[in-house]
Amino acid sequence: MDFLQILALLFKGTGYTLMVTVACSATGMVVGLAIAMLYRLDWRPLQPLLRTFTYVFRGLPVLVLLFIVFFGLPNLGLRVPPLVSMMLSLGVIAGAYLGEVFRGAFDSVDRNEVLAAEAMGMSRLQVLLHIELPQMLRFAVPGMINEFTTVLKYSPFAYTVGIPDVMKEAMALSAATLRGVEIYLGVGLLYFAIYKILVSAVWALEKRYRVPGLTGH
Amino acid sequence: MSSMLAFLQRMADYWPQVLSGLGNTVLLAVIVTITGLLGGILVFYLSLSANRVCRRLTEAYISFFIGTPLIVLLFLMYYGLPQWGVQMSPLTVSIIGFTMNVSAYNARYLATAYRGLDPDELQAARAQGFSDGQVFRLITLPQVMRLSVPALSNQAILNVKDSSVAFLIQYTEFFAQMQDLAVRSFRFFDAYLVAGAVYLLLVSLVVLAARHLERRYVLPGTRRREP
Amino acid sequence: MPLLTVRNLIMTYEGRNALDGVDFDLAEGELKVVMGPSGSGKSTLLRCLNRLATPTSGQVIFQGEDILRPDTDVRALRQRIGFVFQHFALYRHLTALQNVTLGLRKLRGMSAAEADERARQELRRMNMVEHERKYPSQLSGGQKQRVAIARALAMDPAVLFFDEPTSALDPLMAREVVNILQQLRRDGVSMLCVTHDLYLARAVGGRLLFLDQGRILLEGNAEDLFGEHADPRVRAFFRQEREERAPTEAAP
């Protein structure tokens, strides 16, 4: 079996790797947006809760949280499927980080535009959705790319909960063929390729929706 | 919850193991933070080289180690190399793997800070007659380090959290010990929850240290940069 | 023998001749001011003289030595030339005192105590010694430039180069710096100053050189150049500068 064949076998796991990455990134987006928008709405009693949530989920290791959800919750009678476990651990943690990214990006939106919209008679929520959010998302692109690639790099943990991603394929292959070095080298190259493609894809998307003069491009 | 109390009592029985695991976690995190920082400075220095080949290679190194999962590197060295006859302890593999990974990130942070330097200051240093090495040591490095304190201390926090990955290559650090306790007691939830709480505590200590560092070393008159 | 001799200095950059055959001398204790429109090559000239830029051809003799030789010890050369920048270029992570002592300690090998004493001497001369513990961000433009001059003087250079020393300063602070230059001239310091500040050129005395498109069109005293001159380019430059600066230029 030559190197290319190894790569081909590893490739089978790519679909699952991408699925995990996309699912966790999407969870992160939802959680992050929720956090950032709740912050923005400035409800005093909520602030300390949001801060605590962010602090806790930025302080927990992904692996530990994953084990709490997948191996721990059954103790409380809750059996969580593997993919959902990934989303509830890696996804929520990504959400905590994205929440901070979005918070900063919201601050970059011009206060005057918000005032103008409110003066027009828009409700707080309408201003948030139609003025602040579209701008904020564009400012947040570098931070989002950073976080999505981080999610990709923690996605191999999925093997510990039984998802047959690239990592799992590699371990099976390694046990069978004893060609560990080539296999894991191949894994590294594969992840690197996915990483590069992912980054290019997001930048292409950014370009499609870019507003001239807004983000300094 | 009484179950938690029971678990904590169990944990107290295994105190020596848990403590040794904690010690191993701290050991790995501290070593790797130091070697990752020194490595990062070295890689950053190389990225400034006048030699184009050197610069390209350094950029490739940084790009590769930022774009590849740490766990793959660790598995390559721990499960792969033995098949070529190279056997290394989990700690050694972790230190090597983490250092390569972390130095790439640190070099990237330092390079970002470098772009914020005033080129006139570097030119003034050359005009005074300092050698390139002296300019790097006396002007460039002190300034990029101070500008990078938030990013570098964030990396230290990450090192503490990521040390748990070493569990997967059989390094008997804290998480490994908690896993052992979990299996013995069947109290998985309690064990992992306690583990999480301990990590939060460790991270908090680093955060406190980092805030202190930032206050002391921020350049007077500069705004704090968000990491 | 003059301190500095420049002959036929040419510097080609991106197809153009930034310097197109520059000739002049600078004697010990002399002050010369180089003026000219932007793009005339003024800054390039200074940078060629301390080898921060490399000229394409020509001859530069400094203290009897040909400094364009490939085996010239460039660092030693630079240590003999004090360079003051338009934007001060103080090391922002060091205090005023440390900015001045850095070169003394690391290039001259002085002990910390010796360096501090020498540095304080120059800072005192510049009236900046009460601010020695301050960081550049805590100083005004004029104060920063004074520290920069102290930093250059502390190394006991054979000559001081000034690159637009007042161009980043408001008129009040510019006046401070001009006074310093006048004092240094009285003290016999050799200086070469590049500027487009008319007030500076007139007030500081010394010979004026007019540089345009990489060539010295003429050399003379203030009266020669400020009067109604035959050469239209010279007239145009001085007229334009006068118009731009008119509201702020009061009679001294």
- pLDDT, tens only, C193-215: 999 888 898 899 889 999 988 88
CA dihedral A88, A91, A93, A97 (to 10 degrees): -150
Contact C50 B124 (CB under 8 A): no
Angle between helices B90-114 and B149-162 (to 10 degrees): 160
Which residue ranges does chain C devote to CATH 3.40.50.300?
Answer: 1-80+159-252
Look at C246 and B154; give whichever has higher pLDDT: B154
Q: Is B131 on the interface with C (CB under 8 A)?
A: yes
pLDDT reported for residue B152: 93
Average pLDDT, stretch A177-194? Answer: 91
Residues 21-40 of A with CB under 8 A from B: none
Instruction: Say if A67 falls within a structural domain.
Output: yes
Q: Which CATH architecture has domain C1-80+159-252?
A: 3-Layer(aba) Sandwich (3.40)
Interface test with B, best of A58, A108, A184 (most B CBs within 10 A): A184
Contact C200/C31 with Cβ under 8 angstroms? no
Confidence of residue B226 (pLDDT cuts 50, 70, 90): very low
**Domain coverage including residue A62:** 14-163
Contact B192 A72 (CB under 8 A): yes
Which residues in chain B touch residue C89, judged by CB atoms under 8 angstroms apart?
118, 120-121, 123-124
Residues A33-60 have pLDDT tens digits of 999 999 988 888 999 999 999 999 999 9
Residues C11-68 have pLDDT tens digits of 998 888 889 999 999 999 999 999 988 777 888 999 999 999 999 999 999 999 999 9
Contact C83/C131 with Cβ under 8 angstroms? no
Range in A131-135, B36-40, C130-134, C140-144 with the lowest mean pLDDT: A131-135
Mean pLDDT of chain C: 89
pLDDT reported for residue C85: 93
Residue type, B151: A
Contact A17/A10 with Cβ under 8 angstroms? no
Angle between helices A14-40 and A46-59 (to 10 degrees): 150
pLDDT at B223 over 70: no
Say how far apart CA C48 and CA C194 lie, in whole Å: 13
Contact C91 B220 (CB under 8 A): no
Contact B69 A178 (CB under 8 A): no
pLDDT at A131 over 70: yes
Longest dimension (CA), chain A: 70
Consecutive H or E run containing C82: strand C81-84
pLDDT reported for residue C241: 65
Strands (E) in chain A, as ranges, are: none
pLDDT at A217 over 70: no
Say how far apart CA C109 and CA C111 lie, in whole Å: 7
pLDDT reported for residue B225: 43
CA distance B81 to chain C (A): 46
Which residues in chain A touch residue B79, judged by CB atoms under 8 angstroms apart?
171, 174, 180, 184
Mean pLDDT of chain B: 92
Say how far apart CA C155 and CA C80 lie, in whole Å: 8
Instruction: Say if A140 falls within a structural domain.
Output: yes
Residue A136 tokens read as 């904020």
CA distance A72 to chain B (A): 4
pLDDT at B224 over 50: no
Residue A201 tokens read as 């894809």
pLDDT reported for residue C245: 55
Share of chain A above pLDDT 70, in %: 99
Question: Measured between CB atoms, which of B68, B161, B165 is closest to A191?
Answer: B68
Q: Which ranges of chain C would DSSP assign to H, the alpha helix? A: 42-49, 74-79, 96-106, 112-125, 141-154, 171-186, 198-204, 222-226, 232-245
Share of chain B above pLDDT 70, in %: 96
pLDDT at B183 over 80: yes
Range in A29-38, A102-111, B215-224 with the lowest mean pLDDT: B215-224
Confidence of residue A128 (pLDDT cuts 50, 70, 90): confident
Q: Is B227 on the interface with C (CB under 8 A)?
A: no
pLDDT at C234 over 80: no
Which residues in chain A touch residue B157, judged by CB atoms under 8 angstroms apart?
59
Q: What is the DSSP string of A113-152?
A: HHHHHHHHT--HHHHIIIIIHHHHHHHTHHHHHHHHHHHH
CATH code of the domain in which A122 resides: 1.10.3720.10
pLDDT at B160 over 70: yes
Contact C78 B128 (CB under 8 A): yes
Say how far apart CA B81 and CA B75 lie, in whole Å: 9
Look at A29 and B14; give whichever has higher pLDDT: A29
pLDDT reported for residue A84: 96
pLDDT reported for residue A49: 94
Chains A and C touch (3+ CB pairs under 8 A): no
pLDDT at B227 over 60: no
Helix, strand, coil percentages (3-state) for chain B, rounded to 5, are 85, 0, 15
Contact C52 B123 (CB under 8 A): yes
pLDDT reported for residue C248: 52
Task: Provide the domain count of chain A.
Answer: 1
Q: Is A108 on the interface with B (CB under 8 A)?
A: no
pLDDT reported for residue C140: 94
pLDDT at C180 over 90: yes
Residues C72-93 have pLDDT tens digits of 999 999 999 999 999 999 999 9
Say how far apart CA C140 and CA C128 lie, in whole Å: 11
CA distance B55 to chain A (A): 20
pLDDT reported for residue A179: 85
Which residues in chain B touch residue C52, judged by CB atoms under 8 angstroms apart?
123, 126-127
Residues 22-81 of C with CB under 8 A from B: 50, 52, 75-79, 81
Q: Angle B206-B156-B45 (CA atoms, 0-180°, nearest 5)?
A: 140
Contact B75 A192 (CB under 8 A): no
Which residues in chain B touch residue C143, judged by CB atoms under 8 angstroms apart?
none
Q: Which chains touch C (3 or more CB pairs under 8 A)?
A: B
CA distance B125 to chain C (A): 9
CATH code of the region B2-217: 1.10.3720.10
Name residues whose C-beta falls within 8 Å of residue B171's C-beta, 6 or more positions apart in sequence: B24, B28, B90, B91, B94
pLDDT at A129 over 90: no
Residues A70-109 have pLDDT tens digits of 999 999 999 999 999 999 999 999 999 999 999 999 998 8
